[in-house]
Structure 1
Amino acid sequence: MSRKTLSLALALVLLLSACGKGPEAGTSPSPAPPSPAASPTPEPEPTPYDGPVNPLTGLPLEHGSPDDRPVAIMLNNLKKALPQLGVSQADIIYEVLAEGGITRMLGVYQSVEGVGTIGSVRSSRPYYLELALGHDAVYLHAGGSPDAYSKIKSWGVTALDCVNGPYEGTLFWRDQWRRKNLGYEHSVVTSGEAITTLFPSYSFRQQHQEGYTYDMAFAENGAPGGEAAQSVTVPFSDYKTGLFTYDADTGLYLVSEYGQPYVDGNSGEQVGVTNLLILKTRCANIPGDEYGRITVDLTGGEGWFACGGQYVPIRWEKGFPNGQLRYCTADGAPLVLGQGRSYVCVVPLNSNATFS
């Protein structure tokens, strides 16, 4: 064998030896295992709110403390004195008859910070004092009936009065446009800024006493599961009827009165509330009262609760004079309100609210 032939044979042996280390003839190399697919980044769980809660609404409290005493302000509701100011930001609005078939309102605010001008402020009656006492509230008013002044003293109400007190020109003042165009008695106003600035300089108790609780349950969805209540008409008297129209987009009852939307004069915003409560009770003229003043029995009775476009009958009661209003369903279970503002209509026994 020649040297050239020997070299070719050795090269062929080495080639076959190298090829023998690979896959068998006629087979393909095994594919590499696929890389694991990247998992999507999970959305972070929302952090549960653990800050202070407004005891009057069940919502987060943006200003102040739940231990602060709320502010309850008497509000004029004569048609000629409208629009009211600052009312859309009240946590609870109580509307109750006064003399002559008119109504007045008590706006209750856990905090008035940022509310702006509030008014016009009007005079007191004893049953409005009872409502304020039910919240351990600081009560602002401009005058009052003789019986109201007597009860302010005997019941120990923290009452700040524009008419017979040292507060006009500081905590209260006369809006000059209202004084000129609406009348002197419809011109008293206050403001959230005046209240938050001046209250710390006053000597009354600023916070609830230790152990105080406002016993009211709230749920994110407060619809009671009853009959339809898309529109609710609430007659107070021949002079005043309230209309509450449910807006499904916001979950609020939009308020109208005197045939017009009930608006806040600060913003032009129509007042909207989550909860509507209608409380029926005995309202009677005071014998011999020259101004036609009335009494309103706040010890208890029947009524209705509307929320989320539905309503159910309820029962209610209040301890005299400083007990909290307590609501229950017809079977006696404590009522659960929707988280949000409330409007409470206190109407005579012969008032027949209608729901549709």
Structure 2
Amino acid sequence: MRRAPLPLAVLVSASLLLAGCGGGDDGSPSSESSSPAAQKVAGGATLDATWPLTGLPVSGDQSASQDHPVLVAKMDNTASSAPQIGLGKADMVVEELVEGGLTRLAAFYYSQIPGTVGPVRSMRASDVGIVSPVDADVVTSGAAPRTIALIKNAGIRFFGEGTKGFARDNSRPAPYNLFANLSEVASTIKQGDKRPADYLPWGDEKDLPKGVAAKTMAAQFSGGHTTDWVYRGGGYINENTYAADGDEFPADTVLVLRVQEGDAGYLDPAGNHVPETKLVGKGAAMLFHGGRMVRGTWSKDKLDSPLQLSTKGGKLTVPAGHTWIELVPAQGGNVTFKK
């Protein structure tokens, strides 16, 4: 069952406060869709025709929306985070394993930069491979010294409490009360002259292999956490989301990558080993779209390399739209689905 949201009045007051401050054979080939040409906008500037995090078309009046880098907000994903704010405005979300068998979200924003998002939590070593492909800046509460060193060595810029746009909601308990106004964060930085790379190999729904029927799916990260999805109304609904009512992520596709987990080399305050998701190499992939599932393989040469997907028949593309990526451990995790 979906977790009950907080009353609307509570959400509104909090927002105002913060603003003020199984499987079958899927080996059939897929064709590669050509990218639309760039278009001219006001002032003669060139605007890329699709968004890098969704593959969706860019309209001429959205040119100002590209005058900033990709922002990734690290969000808590436990009952203590309810209600999460801002997931409905994200272009893409990556769910990753953290200590204690729990998960944390990396919510990507580019085509639109909202106001308040959160609760904002700390980074992990896994985030280097997650955010590097699009040169994203990270919005975070901080990190362990070892993780900060890795993030800095990778050339990743991050913003935390004490910088413009951050505020605490005193109606919530710490550490689940830090929020960030992404519009304010974005106002302090500029994108530069390079468009972010496409995060996924975008394509068209008609290019997908047939796959098998899959109307429900459960991504089990550990014995303590499973994310449940159901295909309904043309999209995927997270049945155990912590998002505020009406602010859920609008998933068109759920992409599961089976990944290896290592040890980040330190313990959390409770004495749990902190895992590190390995995002270099290859593994099994499951693409859920349109109520069907296509099996494939993912590969990534370097931490900052784009993700490649394939089937036995050739390249696998992701239908343009909003994608939720599940980084499910190959050992200790599991993925099940039903027709």
1:56 aligns with 53
Secondary structure at 1:56's aligned position in 2? coil
Taking the TM superposition and a 5 Å limit, the aligned residue runs for 1:1-356 are 52-61=49-58, 63=62, 64=64, 68-113=68-113, 115-162=114-161, 166-167=162-163, 170-178=164-172, 183-200=173-190, 206-207=191-192, 209=194, 216-221=201-206, 224-247=209-232, 249=233, 251-257=234-240, 262=241, 264-265=243-244, 268-286=246-264, 289=267, 290-299=271-280, 300-331=282-313, 333-350=314-331, 351-356=333-338
In 1, distance between residues paired with 2:207 and 2:214?
13
1:62-111 deviation digits (Å, cap 9, x = unpaired): 63455752111111111122221101221111001000001001011113
In 2, distance between residues paired with 1:221 and 1:269?
29
Shift of the 105–212 alpha-carbon distance from structure 1 to 2, 3 Å rule, reads: closer
In 2, distance between residues paired with 1:210 and 1:271?
24
In 2, distance between residues paired with 1:213 and 1:304?
20
In 1, distance between residues paired with 2:224 and 2:187?
38
Shift of the 271–124 alpha-carbon distance from structure 1 to 2, 3 Å rule, reads: same
Secondary structure at 1:130's aligned position in 2? helix
Does the aligned pair in 2 maintain the 1:102–1:240 contact within 8 Å?
yes
Give the total of aligned pairs: 286
In 2, distance between residues paired with 1:228 and 1:286?
38
1:17 aligns with none
> Identity over aligned residues, as a percent?
26
Task: Please state how far the C-alpha of 1:256 moved relative to its aligned partner.
Answer: 1.9
Does the aligned pair in 1 maintain the 2:125–2:264 contact within 8 Å?
no
* Residue segments in structure 2 that go unaligned for 5+ positions in a row: 1-36, 40-46
Task: Please state how far the C-alpha of 1:307 moved relative to its aligned partner.
Answer: 0.5
Shift of the 222–337 alpha-carbon distance from structure 1 to 2, 3 Å rule, reads: farther
Q: Greater Rg, structure 1 or structure 2? A: 1
Q: Structure 1 or 2: larger strand share? A: 2
Task: Please state how far the C-alpha of 1:184 moved relative to its aligned partner.
Answer: 1.6
Secondary structure at 2:246's aligned position in 1? coil
Does the aligned pair in 1 maintain the 2:72–2:131 contact within 8 Å?
yes
Shift of the 159–342 alpha-carbon distance from structure 1 to 2, 3 Å rule, reads: same
Task: Please state how far the C-alpha of 1:55 moved relative to its aligned partner.
Answer: 1.9
Q: Note the aligned Cα RMSD (angstroms).
A: 2.6
Normalised to the residue count of structure 2, the TM-score between the two structures is 0.76
In 2, distance between residues paired with 1:337 and 1:273?
12
- The higher relative CO (CA closer than 8 Å, separation ≥ 6) is in 2
